[in-house]
Structure 1
Amino acid sequence: MGLQWAKHLGNAVKVTINDLNENSVTLIQENCHLNKLKVVVDSKEKEESDEVLEEGEEKLGNIQVTRMDANVLMHLRSFDFIHLDPFGTSVNYLDSAFRNIRNLGIVSVTSTDISSLYAKAQHVARRHYGCNIVRTEYYKELAARIVVAALARAAARCNKGIEVLFAVALEHFVLVVVRVLRGPTSADETAKKIQYLIHCQWCEERIFQKDGNMVEGNSSFF
């Protein structure tokens, strides 16, 4: 995604690509050179690895490539757009992402921990997302809603709210994109939208539990 932005928008945007793995960073740099993008390391142009361009060709844009923990990078700098694509769950990076994201900035999160999100490892979902999830006919929608709720809670802890722009749950990942709205009022409005879903495994009926209300009667919802 970062290479596409730099290639099509050039110097109109400042793109930073980060990975903690040294081999991955090397591959990122090689990919930048193949796409005629200038690599910047530690705010200095990496001239020694630039390829000789043919006549009439020019560099399309600059990309800063860093190798550090993503949480550290997001604490050190502010961003207008953050795309997180970690191995497994993304919950470990959400607090850092929302801490320094600018107002009306966009946070894009790809979660590949489908074993927990798709109710195959319920104990992991309880640990990472604080929910008890069961396998239902709409399990992919549930997975997307669980990730959205995790983003909403992380944003609220930073006195920010979110506006969901896009959410999709496919076979191997869940992708959610939100716009960040600063201020405690936005945070409160977002937090109010988080509700528990009560699902009956016998009749497949489901309802959202309202705040302060208990399910009446001898219902079999759980």
Structure 2
Amino acid sequence: MRVVRLLVRTACHRTVRSVCGTRYTGSCSVKMTIREGSAFINLPEGVFYNPVQEFNRDLTIAVVKHYAKKHFEEFINKGIKKAGEKGAPEPVTYSGLSVLEALSASGLRSIRFAKEVPLLNKVVANDLDPNAVRLIEENVRLNAVGDSVVPSCADAVGLMHDSVKNKFHVVDIDPYGTAVPFLDAAVQCLFDGGLLCVTCTDMAVLCGSAAGTAYGKYGGVAIKMAAQHEQGLRLLLHAMQQAASRYDRVIEPLLSLSIDFYARVFVRVRTSPSRVKRIASRLAIIYSCTGCQVGLFLSILFFMSDDHRFWLRPLQSDGSICPITLHVVVIEVAMLSSGMKYEGSVINLVVLNVLI
């Protein structure tokens, strides 16, 4: 259930009340206490807490729970396969998931991971601000999750680069604004098949409010169109795939959502040089008709196979008028182009059905 909290100020206390009746009080000049999910945290006066993002955190918990179950199943199946190849089973130990919350602030999300997600080994709650890290340490003690939550005070990009050899299974990036500066490091510090959770709060840019800014940040042009929120998600996925491709990795979108003022996407990152070579077939220019608002994807390359050989070739014309030109001639209106965009599926229906 999503809870709406009301702040009631008095002369000496601040009371945080939820609609379900739970009340927490604290000194008005010192701190207030917030309860969310299974976690409760102290927040000093002036520390930012965004209740609107509670849905984001609830959603993340649900997706990471699903991933934890899936990862354990894959571990078991891999062990069975190895035992079959060797002719005899060998004892193995499942160490659990390692999770990084790169921009932790109060530690709320990391504490919820530790208390609500099964099969976890450790959660690194990182923040660059020493005061924030001290707050994380206090909240970790308050929730008695010191065995699993490890506070960290470091630059997020530097920490992820330093973790390339000691990788994580799950990396969560939830910044203020765009997450693009963190993507290059994030795709490197994940295990093969790891889960990358990304939030971008500059949804206006992704939806076409500033085409030049979108290109500078995400490597593609965004325009105002009927399906502008889907366009924004595909542009973000394009930026994530571009970052992954540099390291012979591909993304597999599990869930991509445009919510309120932000985009939230969950992808698995896999190492596959052969799939990276074919990734251009999943990139496209979008043509949007200013008359009927219909959008048309035009892939820059298409994938061909013959005798078990695969290659990419540019789209070619047979001499006739292309569908786009014909469309323009018939309705006599302009076609707007934008891209590059990710053309593949933005959700995994199996995962979606499980979450629902």
Does the 8 Å contact 2:210/2:222 carry over to 1?
no
Give the alignment partner of residue 73 of structure 1, picking from 159, 180, 198: 159
Does the 8 Å contact 2:128/2:153 carry over to 1?
yes
* Superposition deviation, residue 87 in structure 1: 1.5
**Aligned pair in 2 of structure 1 residues 131, 8: CA closer, same or farther (>3 Å)?**
closer
Q: Which residue is equivalent to 1:4?
A: 112
Distance 1:20 1:196 in 2: 38
Give the alignment partner of residue 186 of structure 1, picking from 252, 275, 284: 275
**Aligned pair in 2 of structure 1 residues 17, 190: CA closer, same or farther (>3 Å)?**
farther
Task: Decide which structure has greater strand share.
Answer: 2
Give the alignment partner of residue 29 of structure 1, picking from 110, 125, 137: 137
Kindly provide the amino acid, as one letter, of the partner of residue 335 in structure 2. F
Give the alignment partner of residue 152 of structure 1, picking from 226, 232, 241: 241
Distance 2:257 2:118 in 1: 29
**Structure whose CA Rg is larger:** 2
Alignment partner of 1:16 is 2:124: yes
Give the alignment partner of residue 173 of structure 1, picking from 228, 245, 262: 262
Alignment partner of 1:195 is 2:292: no
Distance 1:119 1:200 in 2: 15
State, as a whole percentage, how many aligned pairs show the same letter: 28
Does the 8 Å contact 2:170/2:190 carry over to 1?
yes
Distance 1:10 1:170 in 2: 27
Distance 2:190 2:280 in 1: 18
Stretch deviating more after TM superposition (158-167 or 17-26): 17-26
Give the alignment partner of residue 125 of structure 1, picking from 214, 229, 238: 214
* Superposition deviation, residue 35 in structure 1: 1.3
Which structure 2 residues correspond to residues 14-163 of structure 1 after superposition, within 5 A? 14-38=122-146, 61-77=147-163, 78-163=167-252
* Superposition deviation, residue 93 in structure 1: 0.8
Stretch deviating more after TM superposition (192-201 or 156-165): 192-201
Alignment partner of 1:221 is 2:329: no
In structure 2, the gaps of 5 or more residues are 1-108, 301-313, 329-333, 337-356
Kindly provide the amino acid, as one letter, of the partner of residue 65 in structure 1. P
**Runs of 4 or more off by more than 6 Å in structure 1?**
none
Deviations 1:50-79 (A, max 9, x none): xxxxxxxxxxx3211111111111111111
Stretch deviating more after TM superposition (171-180 or 28-37): 28-37
* Superposition deviation, residue 10 in structure 1: 7.7
Does the 8 Å contact 1:85/1:111 carry over to 2?
yes
Question: Whose RCO is larger (CA < 8 A, sep 6+)?
Answer: 1
Does the 8 Å contact 1:11/1:62 carry over to 2?
no
| Secondary structure class of the residue paired with 1:163 | strand
Kindly provide the amino acid, as one letter, of the partner of residue 136 in structure 2. I
RMSD in angstroms over aligned alpha carbons?
Answer: 2.1
Distance 1:124 1:23 in 2: 33
Deviations 1:92-130 (A, max 9, x none): 111101112111111110111123112223321121012
| Secondary structure class of the residue paired with 1:13 | strand
* Superposition deviation, residue 189 in structure 1: 3.8
Does the 8 Å contact 2:287/2:335 carry over to 1?
yes
| Secondary structure class of the residue paired with 2:283 | coil
| Secondary structure class of the residue paired with 2:111 | helix
TM-score after normalising by structure 2: 0.52
Stretch deviating more after TM superposition (197-206 or 71-80): 197-206
Distance 1:198 1:3 in 2: 45
**Aligned pair in 2 of structure 1 residues 202, 22: CA closer, same or farther (>3 Å)?**
farther
In structure 1, the gaps of 5 or more residues are 39-60
Does the 8 Å contact 2:281/2:299 carry over to 1?
no
